[in-house]
């Protein structure tokens, strides 16, 4: 029987009902979680590590950096065939993507969670845990980077997004579709992935701000971010990357101060690029020295920018990563 490392971090899958408030709160330890699904011990030999027990909204990028080190330590053990991480669904797409950028491993790393706690009707935790182990044990799951197994589907970290607040069908791989699925016959994959870039670092620059544009937006938030010492800005713009003229003064200031500004879109699918002549309200958008994030959304673009800034890369080098080295 193969040996799997299970690292628990908390989330709904490890929650239960509080008797006083009737709200769902962190309740299950890692051991409690495994006891809820005794079938897991019939699938693989399990080696448990409880890393945290938090709602995923309370995690930080540096905690994920620490989690990456625990994964690397586990996979360095020749007896370990793969790692399963349990995680809250609110920020799992960010954790998965950050781990995907940091880790350079061949063995499977699969993350799962639940939209329903074990005390709720239609709880999905048991099936997601079983399917995750099945995914790890499938030989075809090697060299695919970090995967998320949830609701009978397998998603690649670079594509997955949470698109609904609490449906069991909350997750989708935008621009691509799920990489595979799990049914009664086992694990099935639809396509292969180009190898993801790896950005190694021992620290993270946390001062990267996301600013979302809406109709009538000016540069107030951009100026405030610059005044407060931001080290990078991710601008969530309209459509393929259009921005109102009102924000360009702040963007010119960012350019002068050498602060990288990465451009993403409010749209769920598609990519950003310089198409419209009026994309900056009459200002030539190329003069603003923006970095186009291609199909990454703002939260994932922020994580990549944090990593690249942590490596001390110049704006030109950062631009090359987004334009040429990023695998989509």
Q: At what angle do helices 92-102 and 61-75 cross, to 10 degrees?
A: 50
Please give the torsion angle defined by the CA atoms of residues 267, 271, 274 and 275, in that order, rounded to the nearest 10 degrees: -80
Neighbours of 242 (CB within 10 A): 19
Task: Pick the closest to residue 56 from 9, 101, 18 (CA basis).
Answer: 9
Tokens of 205: 């620059």
12 has catalytic annotation: yes
Q: Give the DSSP H or E segment for 263.
A: strand 261-265
**Of these residues, 9, 12, 95, 248, which one is catalytic?**
12
Q: What is each CA distance from 327 to 87, 156, 194, 306, in whole angstroms?
A: 25, 12, 6, 17
Write down the residue that tokens 């000016």 correspond to: 218
Q: Could you tell me how many residues make up the chain?
A: 328
Neighbours of 35 (CB within 10 A): 12
Tokens of 113: 């969670």
User: Which sequence positions are flagged as catalytic?
Assistant: 12
């Amino acid at each position: 029987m193969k040996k799997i490392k299970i690292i628990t971090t908390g989330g709904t899958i490890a929650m239960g009902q509080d008797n006083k408030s009737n709200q769902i709160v962190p309740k299950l330890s890692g051991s409690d979680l495994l006891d809820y699904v005794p079938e897991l011990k019939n699938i693989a030999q399990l080696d448990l590590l409880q890393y945290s027990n938090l709602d995923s909204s309370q995690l930080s990028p540096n905690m994920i950096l620490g989690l990456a080190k625990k994964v690397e330590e586990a996979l360095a053990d020749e007896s370990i065939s793969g790692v399963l991480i349990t995680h809250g669904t609110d920020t799992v797409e960010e954790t998965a993507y950050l781990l995907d950028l940091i880790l350079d491993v061949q063995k499977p790393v699969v993350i799962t969670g639940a939209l329903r706690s074990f005390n709720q009707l239609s709880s999905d935790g048991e099936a997601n845990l079983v399917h995750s182990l099945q995914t790890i044990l499938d030989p075809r799951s090697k060299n695919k980077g970090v995967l998320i197994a949830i609701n009978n589907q397998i998603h690649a970290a670079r594509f997955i997004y949470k698109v609904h607040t609490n449906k069991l069908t909350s997750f989708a791989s935008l621009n691509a579709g799920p990489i595979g699925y799990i049914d009664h016959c086992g694990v099935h994959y639809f396509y292969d992935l180009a190898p993801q870039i790896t950005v190694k670092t021992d620290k993270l620059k946390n001062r990267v701000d996301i600013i979302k544009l809406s109709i009538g937006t000016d540069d107030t938030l951009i100026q405030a971010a610059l005044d407060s010492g931001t080290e990078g800005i991710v601008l969530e713009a309209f459509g393929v990357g259009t921005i109102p003229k009102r924000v360009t003064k702040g963007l010119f200031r960012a350019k002068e101060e050498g602060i990288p500004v990465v451009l993403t879109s409010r749209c769920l699918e598609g990519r950003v690029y310089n198409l419209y002549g009026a994309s900056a309200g009459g200002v030539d958008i190329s003069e603003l020295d923006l970095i186009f994030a291609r199909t990454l959304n703002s939260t994932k673009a922020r994580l990549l920018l944090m990593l690249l800034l942590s490596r001390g890369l110049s704006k030109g080098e950062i631009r090359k990563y987004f334009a040429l080295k990023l695998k989509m």
